[in-house]
Amino acid sequence: MKDPADSVSASSAELAAPEPPRAAVEPLPSAAQVLISRVTWFVQLRWLAVAGVFATILVARHALGLPVPGGPLYVLACLLFASNTCFHYWARRLDRIEDDALRLRKARVFANVQIGSDLVLLTLLLHFSGGVENPFSLFFVFHMVLASILLSAKDSYCQAMLALALFMTMALVGYVWPGAHVHLKGLLPGEVCRNGLYVFAHVAALGVTLFIAVFLTSSIAHRLRAREAELREAHARTERLVWSLADRNRRLQEIEERQSKFMRVVAHQLRSPLAAIDSCLKLVLDGYLKDDRERELDMVLRARTRADAMLELIGELLDLARHRDLVREEAKEPPANLDAVVESVVRLQAPVAQEKHIELTLDAKLGAVRVPLSAEKAQDAVGNLVSNAVKYTPAGGRVAVRTWREGDDAWFEVKDTGIGIPKEEQEHLFTEFFRASNAKAIEAQGTGLGLAIALEIVKQYGGDIEYESQVGAGTTFRFHVPIVDVGGGNEQ
């Protein structure tokens, strides 16, 4: 009979591991990417600062007439320009690092170096342009704001301490060594750098301002970073959800395809016997065999046999569908005593075995143990395996059935000395409608659904059916299911 070798595989899908779909959600930049883009922006901002320093020196010297030393100031401005050029290339190198964690660490170091370098240059610029007299000491605050945005709170406070230390050093140098101080004549009356109280107040005020600036900005930055982290987590959850949905869609599509394929196979399996019945009966009705009564009767009997086979096939298809039903009907039925079911199956097969002079034996060792299957499901699973063993064992052979307990599992095994299954056909063993070539030679009729049904039942309880087979030597099938009750209760 027709037996499409490419028909669908048995039971629920055991799909290969899914591949992640292409990104449906735009990925968020990582923390490293965000920091690098900010320090790069900082580098670009510094070009404006360079221009500003040059412009300020020019205005101070030539427009305002302040007696600031052009040489050192222009050298410092050039140093600022040179350092920013280095920072520019450093930022580009950072971008090329592939390891995100390493990139983040190096970006933090980069940000610290930039800010530290700016603080030193700002201090030197202030020293050569009036020191504590220069109102641009307020520019330290900008660096604290930037540090709080780019760096952690700890690093920001360290930068604040560095700024305060540098300013204090500059103020002390001016106080202790007046020759080093550049007095801005005309800006302030007298050289306040020699006024200890003024110097102390200025340093204290700047220090408090720097630390308050770091505190306030860090607090806000911390909240922003927390929000960023929440956003990143929400994004990751969305991405996982999208991936999961895409995967489920793909599985649903695959299930739909398998169902369509299964329906085509079932339709073919039903149509073939119907076509044969039609052909046989048409001969009788059209009078082709009106002169051959015996052959006429043979045609009718053939039609009848095929009709019976169709009924058996439809019955097994309904069994398969019922066992696949997602509604766990067995929750309403009591767990079966597996030994009782096996004994019942062996009793049913005994007459068939006797007729073929097959030695059918049973060694049942589970006793009162119960399994989560209903009696009906256990009967279907065990019945299919034992009936196959008897059917495909030649006369004079042996079929040995046994049950036993291993740990928390109940085991069942049927071992025959039958025709065996060709090795190259074993992979299709549990495929719906599959029948081995040598099985078809012995028994032309057969639905090919018995093993698929047995496997479907066993898998529902987390088990699997193992087998060994050799052509000409026989086949062994065994499965295990968990034990739910070790004893007591009424026998089934």
Which amino acid is present at 125?
L
Nearest approach in angstroms of CB 416 to another protein is: 24
Q: Is residue 161 classed exposed, middle or buried when 0-12, 13-18 and 19+ CB atoms within 10 A define those classes? A: middle
Residue 290 near another protein by CB under 8 A: no
The DSSP symbol for 397 reads -
Nearest approach in angstroms of CB 475 to another protein is: 21
> Taking CB under 8 A as the rule, which mask of x and - marks residues 305-324 in contact with another protein?
-x------------------
* Tokens representing residue 475 in the block: 């086949």
Residue 278 near another protein by CB under 8 A: yes
Residue 280 near another protein by CB under 8 A: yes
Residue 182 near another protein by CB under 8 A: no
Nearest approach in angstroms of CB 285 to another protein is: 10
Q: Smaller CB distance to another protein: residue 39 or 419?
A: 419
> Taking CB under 8 A as the rule, which mask of x and - marks residues 256-275 in contact with another protein?
------------x--xx-xx
Q: Smaller CB distance to another protein: residue 291 or 406?
A: 291
Which of 169, 244, 437, 470 is in the footprint of another protein by CB under 8 A? 437
Which of 113, 246, 289, 350 is in the footprint of another protein by CB under 8 A? 289
Footprint of another protein on 395-434 (CB under 8 A): none
Q: Smaller CB distance to another protein: residue 306 or 377?
A: 306
Residue 279 near another protein by CB under 8 A: yes
- Categorise residue 481: left if φ over 0, alpha if ψ from -120 to 50, beta otherwise: beta
Q: Smaller CB distance to another protein: residue 32 or 266?
A: 266
Nearest approach in angstroms of CB 430 to another protein is: 18
Q: Smaller CB distance to another protein: residue 30 or 272?
A: 272
Q: Smaller CB distance to another protein: residue 260 or 354?
A: 260
Which of 101, 444, 473, 486 is in the footprint of another protein by CB under 8 A? 444
Q: Smaller CB distance to another protein: residue 300 or 348?
A: 300
**In angstroms, rounded to a whole number, what is the distance separating the alpha carbons of residues 296 and 273?**
18
> Taking CB under 8 A as the rule, which mask of x and - marks residues 129-158 in contact with another protein?
------------------------------
The DSSP symbol for 15 reads P
Nearest approach in angstroms of CB 434 to another protein is: 11
Which of 49, 151, 283, 385 is in the footprint of another protein by CB under 8 A? 283
Task: Considering only the stretches 87-95, 175-183, 291-299, 446-454, report the one whose residues sit in contact with another protein under the rule CB under 8 A.
Answer: 291-299
User: What is the distance of C-alpha 334 from the center of its chain?
Assistant: 38
**In angstroms, rounded to a whole number, what is the distance separating the alpha carbons of residues 80 and 122?**
9
Residue 240 near another protein by CB under 8 A: no
In DSSP terms, which residues pair with 465 in a beta bridge? 479
Q: Smaller CB distance to another protein: residue 228 or 298?
A: 298
Which amino acid is present at 102?
L
Residue 52 near another protein by CB under 8 A: no
Residue 299 near another protein by CB under 8 A: yes
Q: Smaller CB distance to another protein: residue 99 or 308?
A: 308
Which amino acid is present at 12?
S
Q: In terms of DSSP bridges, do strands 474-482 and 465-470 run parallel, antiparallel, or are they unpaired?
A: antiparallel
Give Cβ neighbours of residue 174 (< 8 Å, ≥ 6 apart). 127, 131, 132, 180, 181, 193, 199
Give Cβ neighbours of residue 106 (< 8 Å, ≥ 6 apart). 94, 97
Residue 288 near another protein by CB under 8 A: yes
DSSP string, 2-19: ---TTPPPSSS--PPPPP
Nearest approach in angstroms of CB 28 to another protein is: 46
Residue 439 near another protein by CB under 8 A: no
| C-beta separation of 486 from 45 below 8 A | no
Q: In terms of DSSP bridges, do strands 359-364 and 398-406 run parallel, antiparallel, or are they unpaired?
A: parallel
> Taking CB under 8 A as the rule, which mask of x and - marks residues 5-44 in contact with another protein?
xx--------------------------------------
Residue 276 near another protein by CB under 8 A: yes
**In angstroms, rounded to a whole number, what is the distance separating the alpha carbons of residues 185 and 64?**
11
Pick from 210, 120, 141, 128: which is nearest to 173 by CA? Answer: 128
Other beta carbons less than 10 A from residue 269's beta carbon: 23
| C-beta separation of 373 from 336 below 8 A | yes
Q: Is residue 285 classed exposed, middle or buried when 0-12, 13-18 and 19+ CB atoms within 10 A define those classes? A: exposed
Q: Smaller CB distance to another protein: residue 303 or 360?
A: 303
* Tokens representing residue 108 in the block: 């933090």
Nearest approach in angstroms of CB 432 to another protein is: 14
| C-beta separation of 324 from 432 below 8 A | no
**In angstroms, rounded to a whole number, what is the distance separating the alpha carbons of residues 165 and 203?**
10
Nearest approach in angstroms of CB 2 to another protein is: 5
In DSSP terms, which residues pair with 141 in a beta bridge? none
Q: Smaller CB distance to another protein: residue 377 or 435?
A: 435
DSSP string, 102-140: HHHHHHHHHHHHHHHHHHHHHHHHHHTTTGGG-GGGGHH
Applying CB under 8 A, the residues found at the interface with another protein are 1-6, 268, 271-272, 274-280, 282-283, 286, 288-289, 295, 298-299, 302-303, 306, 437, 444
